[in-house]
Amino acid sequence: MIQDSYGYMVAFAGHRYAARSPPAFVANGTYTVTSFTLVLEFKRGRLQNLYWKRDGCAKCSSNSKAVCLNNQDCALQTSTCKSHGGTVDCSIGIQLAFSGTDRHLAVLNSWYEVKNLRQYSLYGLYSNLRDSLTSQYDKFF
- What is the SS3 assignment for the chain? CEECCCCEEECEEECCCEEECCCEECECCCEECCEEEEEEEEECCEEEEEEEECCCCHHHHHCCCEEEECCCEEEEEHHHEHHHCCCECCCCEEEEEEEEECCCCCEEEHHHHHHHHHCCCCHHHHHHHHHHHHHHHHHHC
**Residue 61 pLDDT:** 76
pTM as predicted: 0.73
* Per-residue tens of pLDDT for the chain, all 141 residues: 444 344 889 898 877 778 889 999 999 989 999 989 899 999 999 999 999 988 788 778 777 788 999 888 989 999 999 988 999 889 888 888 999 999 999 998 886 676 665 555 444 545 555 555 555 555 544
**Residue 4 pLDDT:** 39
